[in-house]
Structure 1
């Protein structure tokens, strides 16, 4: 399967889309924009995974397997246990391969804003206290830092299995949304 760029035409109309990228890359935002553009069901994996007090929900894998069988959806490519289920059904992966500085700047900004405003995320959860970045190995900022290279290698390996659209930087995201994604299927309708 090809590794496409922001201007390359899509070989099919995306129906089941995974958005891959590091924490802070903008996966959730892009999922929403793709869902609106292509009239796809938007499923947020974090809301299915996290129960109260940051406890994983036992029904998570079953819920993912159920929606993955549907014909039209977009979600994030994350959570090791369900990635294979999602990948088997996906027809397109959109990879937010932003530079490390972009991702970390976004992640720090988002984390600080959420914590300061005490934003409720999923099922009553809030961002961890900022000082815990020094004591909690699983803190989102540490996680984002540690997982950047691993995420890149994981997504690059998918290019042989599924169509992967690689977008580096927000300008490429905008170009792809307005170009190939907006126009796919139009030529068949004429």
Structure 2
């Protein structure tokens, strides 16, 4: 387990789990929201895809986010997919 993609609804613990996995597996953690949302506004889709693809070309990573438009550069490159789907109150 070296390339992990976490996804799920908001407030299900993606960031908490991703940070923990990053520490336990000694792999870098990336929240895709941190790439997409810049001080100048959201990145254009092609730039978002390019930057994300650059991260997931490496041997190990933990990536979190709900972006189906990145499935080919995140989900299809991952060796482990984690879907957090807890019932909301």
Query: What TM-score do the two structures reach when normalised by structure 1?
Result: 0.43
Please identify, of 27-36 and 55-64, the stretch whose mean Cα deviation from structure 2 is larger.
55-64
Query: How far, CA to CA, are the matches of 1:20 and 1:79 in structure 2?
Result: 8
Q: In 1, are the aligned partners of 2:5 and 2:82 still within 8 Å (CA)?
A: yes
Q: What is the 5 A alignment of 1:20-59?
A: 20-52=7-39, 55-58=41-44, 59=47
Q: In 1, are the aligned partners of 2:49 and 2:73 still within 8 Å (CA)?
A: no
Q: Give the root-mean-square deviation of aligned CA atoms.
A: 1.4
Unpaired runs of at least 5, structure 2: none
Displacement, 1:77? 4.0
Q: Which has the higher strand share?
A: 2
Residue in structure 1 matched with residue 59 of structure 2 by the alignment: 71
Q: What is the 5 A alignment of 1:1-190?
A: 14-52=1-39, 55-58=41-44, 59-101=47-89
Q: In 1, are the aligned partners of 2:31 and 2:65 still within 8 Å (CA)?
A: no
Displacement, 1:70? 0.5
In the comparison of the two structures, how many residue pairs are matched?
A: 87
Unpaired runs of at least 5, structure 1: 1-13, 102-190
Look up the SS of the partner of 1:62 in the other structure.
helix
- Flag the structure with larger Rg: 1
Look up the SS of the partner of 2:18 in the other structure.
helix
